[in-house]
Amino acid sequence: MTIQSPTPSPLLDHCPETLPKAAYMDIDWYNKELSTIWSNNWVVVGRKADFPAGRVTRRSLGGADVLVVSDANGKLSAFHNACRHRGAALCTSQQESFGGKLIKCPYHAWSYATDGRLISTGFGRPTADFDKSDHGLFPVSLMEWNGFVFLSLSKDPGPLSPDMGLNALDNWPMADLVRGHVFEKELDCNWKIFWENYNECLHCPGIHPELSDLVPVYREGVMSEAERKNKPGGVELSPLKEGAQTWTANGQPCGPEFPNLTKTERRTAHNFVTLYPSAFIVAHVDYVRSVTLIPMGPEKTKLRAEWLFLPETLTAPGFDLENVTGFATLVMEQDGAACELNQKGIASPAYERGRLMPEEFDIHNFHKWVLAEMAD
């Protein structure tokens, strides 16, 4: 008989220091993050449905103005928003229709194909030393995964690396899901403070009474059973309180459960997939929620949450959207207030850096990731 070793505790065996104050307030530090972390990694910029065929859509990425081009057939490509003539912006509104054929510069009428090739120089008559093939639009890396669109300014960004693996959402019908609700909020905090809050649950009993009631392990200030290994006499807790099946106000599914989930995925009930630096996805038995971050300055972050459902769930008689969205919205409002509280305290002239507790191992790992990405 094979005896399986118990899951080792992830808790830290020391109390490391946090990042310094400058990491949350200094404009030079922030700009370096934009040019490294937010430029070199894959960043979520929306769902495929946000980029309809025959339209050009603007996005901000690592401080750069970027265009996502959807041709007449809906095939996506991305480019810097700069004409190769003298640098004029090709698009100034959030989204423009171009008929799916040629992208024309509004200044001197240089025109480009949807794959970025220069087709025409307008009224300009180039000489023999000018090669059109050398003057296509500056490309931006683009990829799609589970209906999400990702961009990277890196010419070689490497593979997408969700913390739970590329197959983490294979049993959810991600391509068929549609947006049913959106929540947006501008937070007065650094983007890293949001991730730090996400990566620990010491705050859960005090900040999230409703969430802690739904998720028993959160009542103990930890995120998983593995963190409770050292507690004497501990009995394994259920992922959700008795009678609850999902994250809704009443704990009940908002519609039919997804049919292809495993027993483990159903029992887990809240399957988190993290994609630094820009997003996390929470897949439940009946719907999926995505949360994306956009840094807007050293002390300001835009938060956007989207609830994704099967179309038939949204149109079913008696469907209660508020029962689904109200619960997580409350949790995000609570998190947002805590993050802003954190930012205000860091601004104190007495504060230099903090210390992490053993339960904050994921914050420690996140800090190491940030520093490594900036060094690269």
Q: What is the pLDDT of residues 263-292, one digit of tens each?
A: 999 999 999 999 999 999 999 999 999 999
Average pLDDT over residues 16-45: 98
Sheet order of strands, 102-104 included: 102-104, 111-113, 118-120
Domain covering 43-159: architecture: 3-layer Sandwich (2.102)
Phi-psi region of 80 (alpha: psi -120 to 50; beta: other; left: phi over 0): beta
Q: How far apart are CA 316 and CA 128, in angstroms?
A: 65
Is the pLDDT assigned to residue 5 strictly greater than 50? no
pLDDT-based confidence at residue 225 (cuts at 50, 70, 90): confident
Q: How far apart are CA 98 and CA 70, in angstroms?
A: 9
- The alpha carbon of 1 is separated from its chain's Cα centroid by a whole number of angstroms, namely 44
State the pLDDT at residue 258: 97
- The alpha carbon of 134 is separated from its chain's Cα centroid by a whole number of angstroms, namely 35
Alpha helices in 16-76 (DSSP H): 22-25, 27-35, 37-40
> Among 106, 101, 133, 131, which Cα is nearest to 117's?
133
Q: What is the largest CA-CA distance in the chain?
A: 83
Q: How far apart are CA 368 and CA 361, in angstroms?
A: 11
| Digit-coded pLDDT (tens) for 296-334 | 999 999 999 999 999 999 999 999 999 999 999 999 999
pLDDT-based confidence at residue 212 (cuts at 50, 70, 90): very high
Rg (CA), the chain: 23
CATH number of 13-37+162-376: 3.90.380.10
Cis bond upstream, residue 162 (ω within 30)? no
Return the structure tokens found at 245: 């099946």
The pLDDT mean for the chain works out to 95
State the pLDDT at residue 20: 98
245 and 269 Cβ atoms separated by less than 8 Å: yes
Domain range summary for the chain, segments of one domain joined by + = 13-37+162-376, 43-159
- The alpha carbon of 162 is separated from its chain's Cα centroid by a whole number of angstroms, namely 11
State the pLDDT at residue 7: 63
Q: Residue 225, SS3?
A: helix
Q: How far apart are CA 84 and CA 112, in angstroms?
A: 10
pLDDT-based confidence at residue 233 (cuts at 50, 70, 90): low
State the pLDDT at residue 28: 98
pLDDT-based confidence at residue 128 (cuts at 50, 70, 90): very high
Return the structure tokens found at 22: 């400058």
Q: How far apart are CA 47 and CA 3, in angstroms?
A: 45
Please, what is the Cα angle at 123 between 120 and 126, to 5 degrees? Answer: 70
